[in-house]
């Protein structure tokens, strides 16, 4: 399969526009026009995982954490990111990162973590707002008999997609007026006269990357020689996308049973706890990766908040708000990326023909030990 074709399938589920403005998700290294028979999955591109990928036969690495996260002022290939980039090029490996867009996407990292914890009735903790200029509503006016061909053209151009739904539009019947002057050839109405014609107002959502194609499709498919259209920049929160999830247990779990659920669901034995044990846990918030910035929002909606990378003052904030926090660690909360993506390939019917290889050597850089134990 061409890498570009696979990227197109991925971005249909996890749009690049969903990523934070500071993020650098997407193709980081490589030629998307090349083909691959296998895909290598890992949380991070490190020397260890790169060696794994190079020996696996894959030509594409799908990772969660971007390899190129901060701008490079020079490319020193002796160590660090420079050496990794050099080795990717020498091995012919492309690298594609699904980062904050996968964190926020429906069915992405946070939904995966919540399901592993057995939570139900999931809600978004922090709703995503599209960055300025990321999403637009394209509006035009067309005779009813030309409505369907126009809609088909707009959908083909990449419009009308909302989550897992395609072909989305809104259509309102109405009346258009115009005066056809000299040099015109009106499709409906009369030249040299004021005209009132029945029309349909058509509204279709477009991501920024497809807007120009949508305008071209509109002008090509519209029967009028001078079609009227409007473009609205949207700032509406996305209802099913965002950081973190909040869910419930139908039957409250005793504290120790809840901790066992956390251990099993995330595959961990050690974690940090901030605050007091909750005797009966019924409402839990979770945010994969570093979600300490959302402690105040979690305190308003949950008894317990599970996230990673909690610092001292953030822990004090949680205590002051009466929120119990479990810091499960960044690695444990995001290594789930590998299994999540593996299942996506299965669901999409891409495995086979593609071979999907999960990193077997990736490890948490932190080692937890207790008093009396040898390191």
**Claim to verify: residue 247 and residue 123 sit in the same structural domain:** yes
Which H or E run contains 305? Answer: strand 304-308
**How many domains is the chain built from?**
3
Question: Does 74 reside within a domain?
Answer: yes
Residue 237: predicted pLDDT: 65
Q: How far apart are the first and last CA of the chain?
A: 46
User: Which residues are registered as beta bridge partners of 139?
Assistant: 203, 230
Question: Does 373 reside within a domain?
Answer: no
CA of residue 25 relative to chain centroid, distance: 10
**Claim to verify: residue 199 and residue 157 sit in the same structural domain:** yes
What CATH number corresponds to the domain at position 157?
3.30.70.120
Question: Does 366 reside within a domain?
Answer: no
- Number of alpha carbons in the 13 Å side-chain half-sphere of residue 244: 25
Cβ-contact 262, 268 below 8 angstroms: yes
d(CA 89, CA 93): 6
**Claim to verify: residue 115 and residue 185 sit in the same structural domain:** no
**Claim to verify: residue 255 and residue 116 sit in the same structural domain:** yes
Question: Does 226 reside within a domain?
Answer: yes
d(CA 233, CA 70): 29
**Claim to verify: residue 147 and residue 124 sit in the same structural domain:** no
Residue 312: predicted pLDDT: 97
Question: Does 369 reside within a domain?
Answer: no
Which H or E run contains 152? Answer: helix 147-156
| Token pair 């690298």 in the structure block, residue | 95
Cβ-contact 138, 216 below 8 angstroms: no
| Token pair 């205590």 in the structure block, residue | 319
**Claim to verify: residue 148 and residue 220 sit in the same structural domain:** yes
d(CA 287, CA 295): 10
For the chain, count helices (H), then strands (E). Answer: 12, 15
Residue 340: predicted pLDDT: 97
Residue 358: predicted pLDDT: 96
Question: Does 24 reside within a domain?
Answer: yes
Residue 184: predicted pLDDT: 83
Q: Which of 198, 216, 233 is the last residue of a domain?
A: 233
Question: Does 368 reside within a domain?
Answer: no
Rounded to two decimals, the pTM is 0.76
**Claim to verify: residue 169 and residue 221 sit in the same structural domain:** yes
Question: Does 51 reside within a domain?
Answer: yes
**Claim to verify: residue 218 and residue 206 sit in the same structural domain:** yes
**Claim to verify: residue 157 and residue 223 sit in the same structural domain:** yes
**Claim to verify: residue 255 and residue 113 sit in the same structural domain:** yes
**Claim to verify: residue 93 and residue 116 sit in the same structural domain:** no
What CATH number corresponds to the domain at position 280?
3.40.1390.30
**Claim to verify: residue 273 and residue 339 sit in the same structural domain:** no
Domain coverage including residue 142: 135-233
Residues in the chain predicted with pLDDT less than 50, given as ranges, are 375
110-165 pLDDT, tens digit each: 999 999 999 999 999 998 766 555 789 999 999 999 999 999 999 999 999 887 78
Q: Which of 212, 233, 254 is the last residue of a domain?
A: 233
């Amino acid at each position: 399969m061409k890498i570009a074709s696979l990227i197109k399938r991925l971005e249909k589920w996890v749009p690049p526009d969903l990523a934070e403005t500071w993020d650098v998700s997407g193709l980081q290294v490589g030629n998307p026009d090349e083909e691959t028979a296998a895909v290598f999955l890992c949380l991070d591109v490190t020397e260890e995982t790169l060696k794994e990928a190079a020996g696996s036969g894959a030509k594409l690495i799908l990772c969660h954490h971007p390899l190129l996260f901060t701008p490079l002022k020079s490319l020193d290939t002796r160590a660090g990111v420079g050496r990794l980039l050099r080795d990717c090029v020498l091995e012919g490996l492309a690298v594609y990162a699904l980062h904050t867009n996968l964190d926020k996407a429906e069915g992405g990292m946070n939904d995966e973590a919540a399901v592993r914890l057995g939570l139900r009735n999931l809600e978004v903790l922090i709703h995503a707002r599209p960055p300025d200029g990321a999403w637009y509503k394209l509006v035009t006016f067309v005779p009813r008999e030309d409505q369907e061909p126009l809609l088909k053209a707009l959908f083909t151009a990449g419009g009308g997609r909302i989550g897992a739904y395609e072909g989305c539009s809104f259509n309102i019947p109405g009346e258009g007026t115009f005066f056809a002057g000299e040099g015109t050839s009106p499709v409906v109405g009369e030249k040299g006269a004021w005209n009132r014609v029945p029309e349909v107002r058509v509204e279709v959502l477009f991501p920024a990357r497809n807007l120009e194609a949508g305008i071209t499709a509109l002008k090509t498919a519209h029967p009028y020689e001078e079609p009227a259209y409007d473009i609205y920049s949207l700032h509406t929160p996305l209802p099913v996308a965002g950081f973190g999830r909040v869910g419930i247990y139908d039957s409250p779990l005793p504290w120790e049973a809840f901790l066992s659920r956390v251990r099993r669901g995330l595959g961990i034995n050690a974690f940090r706890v901030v605050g007091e044990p909750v005797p009966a846990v019924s409402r839990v918030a979770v945010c994969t990766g570093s979600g300490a910035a959302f402690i105040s929002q979690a305190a308003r909606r949950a008894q317990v908040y599970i996230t990673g990378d909690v610092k001292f003052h953030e822990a004090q904030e949680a205590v002051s708000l009466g929120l119990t926090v479990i810091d499960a660690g960044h690695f444990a909360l995001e290594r789930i990326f590998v299994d999540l993506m593996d299942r996506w390939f299965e669901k999409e019917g891409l495995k086979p023909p593609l071979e999907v290889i999960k990193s077997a050597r990736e490890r948490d850089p932190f080692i937890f030990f207790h008093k009396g134990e040898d390191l």
